Chain A
């Protein structure tokens, strides 16, 4: 703040970032309505509503699938955040046999190529009657989101420490109360980050969901990816647009709900 030049530099970075995010969005939006856009025209040479008609066509069930997909990913995100809070506390605060191993294993799904991993887990899930069920898809998505959420929560739990909670114990609070009123509000930024991270990973998961869901559990990626893979830019962009907008709305809602929660807590704490 003192040096105006560094301030300017920051602003420049901000603009570059915003541009890097917005420019592709503008192009995607244009492509969703484009028929032909040949070089060297700056704007599409002909437009059509082909993609929009396709997305709203009743046979495709795009919006029911989108809704169930959002619901599924939200479930994964919430579960992932809850497990991560507990796992992070276990790893940071307690010493137990095989702690390092568990710490390492939590990263494993990201170290093994996902195709290999998926094929193996598919057979295991069939034997457990989990294949082709929403529960199976939720579990397999959790395996992929946990490495991220655990790491986010681990760092935050470490930096907050146990001192404040211990203070509460001394004053006679139960462990649950101490956690709810002290650690939870402090962890909230990390929880929001975990939920959004887990949501986006789960929502964009394709191959694993496809294999475990087996076409019985449909998610939005599963109807979007074939068109992108085929190279149909108009339909691909239209689906991508729905993908981005729905995600933004979900993120906005998560933020709103958790922030409200935090405000209420704060009020309660200060009074």
Chain B
């Protein structure tokens, strides 16, 4: 009996190892990879991409965007290029974990083509050699519609892009409150402190490293100590801490008047938004500049909700699309990205999602300009001109986590003596 079990056990191990070794050999068989000719022009790429599938991985928590990609962009790509777009909702952390795992396993033909990415994640993905590029110079629409000299096209959170990602949409931090509840819209940090004093316990922001909470703290820092010094600052904790000391003092002062006296902060900006909708807070914030219009249209915000920003501006950034280094269909990905940065798609996206377009307005034809101009952006928002005139650049990607760390140590639950 015992011998029999042992025999079966050994046999099983033999089968498993045999299976593994066989699979290892076939792990990187190249039959399905669409080989990319580095000298191919765009027309050749289009031809190569015909009849293929392109996967697009990115955050899936926005139903408007999911609908736009699946109902507007995907059918258009199918019709125009015979490309099937597969949209997969996945958080960027998981996407990067997946890419890192595939790289570690030596998988040359991965599963991800296009990635929605920016900032710190782009920095770490590019540093770890997870991205394909440079590719933007191959896209005809890149030269045609994008301002190639723009800071945000050259740098992503201060980190050189070098053609490894193409702009997808622009975001900017905005503040929201309800004009029926709070008549004032603070225009700087001093007025914001007064606002918090008046509505004691009814203002807060999401705990860092929440994306929006973190951007909010950076905006306060900019207003207090200015933004220029950070662009060239060394990513050293002591240096950063010294530079932002006045802002830390301000944040600790602010704590007294915040929700729960700043002892705790909501974990996500989603929670802050829910508390605002419920009337528990009198102010919300969003990285989507037209969040007020979207919320009013959905019906989750009252009609009296409106947008405001500081006079000195708020941080804005661009989000991008990159291609995975082990993407099985790089030609297809480039064709799709080229389509996304076209005036037509950007205008459609502006209508459907209310994200700031990435195309340069002065590069548009009159007809295209008219299409952007007639978009009715909705209630409670600021104009694109006003937003862009009060837009501050993001800090270098490697300073952001340092500030988040300092905030945890020096601000949460701490008060000035």
Question: Which A residues fall within an 8 A CB radius of B?
Answer: 35-39, 46, 48, 50, 54, 57, 59-60, 96, 119, 122-123, 126-129, 131-132, 207, 210-211, 214-216, 222-223, 226-227, 229-235
- Which residues of B from 267 to 287 have beta carbons under 8 Å from A? 268-271, 273-274, 277-280
In the bound complex, do residue B274 and residue A231 qualify as a contact, i.e. CB atoms below 8 Å apart? yes
Given contacts A127-B27, A128-B20, contact A215 B90 (CB under 8 A): yes
In the bound complex, do residue B299 and residue A127 qualify as a contact, i.e. CB atoms below 8 Å apart? no
Choose among B59, B88, B269 the residue that contacts A215 (Cβ–Cβ < 8 A).
B88
Question: Which B residues fall within an 8 A CB radius of A?
Answer: 2, 5, 19-20, 23-24, 26-27, 55, 57, 59-63, 66-67, 70-71, 88-91, 94, 97-98, 101-102, 104-105, 107, 111-112, 268-271, 273-274, 277-280, 298-300, 302
Given contacts A38-B279, A231-B270, contact A126 B101 (CB under 8 A): yes
In the bound complex, do residue B105 and residue A127 qualify as a contact, i.e. CB atoms below 8 Å apart? yes
> How far, in Å, is B143 (CB) from chain A's closest CB?
32
In the bound complex, do residue A227 and residue B299 qualify as a contact, i.e. CB atoms below 8 Å apart? no
> How far, in Å, is A212 (CB) from chain B's closest CB?
10
Given contacts A36-B299, A231-B270, A233-B274, contact A126 B59 (CB under 8 A): no
The 7 nearest A-B residue pairs measured at CB: A231-B270, A215-B88, A230-B61, A126-B105, A226-B61, A59-B70, A35-B299
Subset of 12 A-B contacts with CB under 8 Å:
A48-B299, A50-B298, A59-B70, A122-B98, A122-B101, A126-B105, A126-B107, A129-B27, A131-B102, A226-B59, A226-B89, A231-B269
Given contacts A214-B98, A223-B60, A233-B274, contact A59 B107 (CB under 8 A): no
Choose among A122, A216, A229 the residue that contacts B270 (Cβ–Cβ < 8 A).
A229
Nearest neighbor of B20 in chain A, beta-carbon distance: A128
Nearest neighbor of B67 in chain A, beta-carbon distance: A59
User: How far apart sit A37 and B299, CA to CA, in the bound complex (Å)?
Assistant: 11
In the bound complex, do residue B26 and residue A210 qualify as a contact, i.e. CB atoms below 8 Å apart? no
In the bound complex, do residue A127 and residue B20 qualify as a contact, i.e. CB atoms below 8 Å apart? yes
Q: Which residues of B contact A123 (CB under 8 A)?
A: 101, 104-105
Choose among B26, B67, B89, B300 the residue that contacts A35 (Cβ–Cβ < 8 A).
B300
User: How far apart sit A50 and B294, CA to CA, in the bound complex (Å)?
Assistant: 13
User: How far apart sit A59 and B63, CA to CA, in the bound complex (Å)?
Assistant: 11
In the bound complex, do residue A215 and residue B57 qualify as a contact, i.e. CB atoms below 8 Å apart? yes
> How far, in Å, is A22 (CB) from chain B's closest CB?
23
In the bound complex, do residue B98 and residue A222 qualify as a contact, i.e. CB atoms below 8 Å apart? no
In the bound complex, do residue B101 and residue A38 qualify as a contact, i.e. CB atoms below 8 Å apart? no
User: How far apart sit A36 and B61, CA to CA, in the bound complex (Å)?
Assistant: 20
User: How far apart sit A123 and B27, CA to CA, in the bound complex (Å)?
Assistant: 12
In the bound complex, do residue A57 and residue B271 qualify as a contact, i.e. CB atoms below 8 Å apart? no
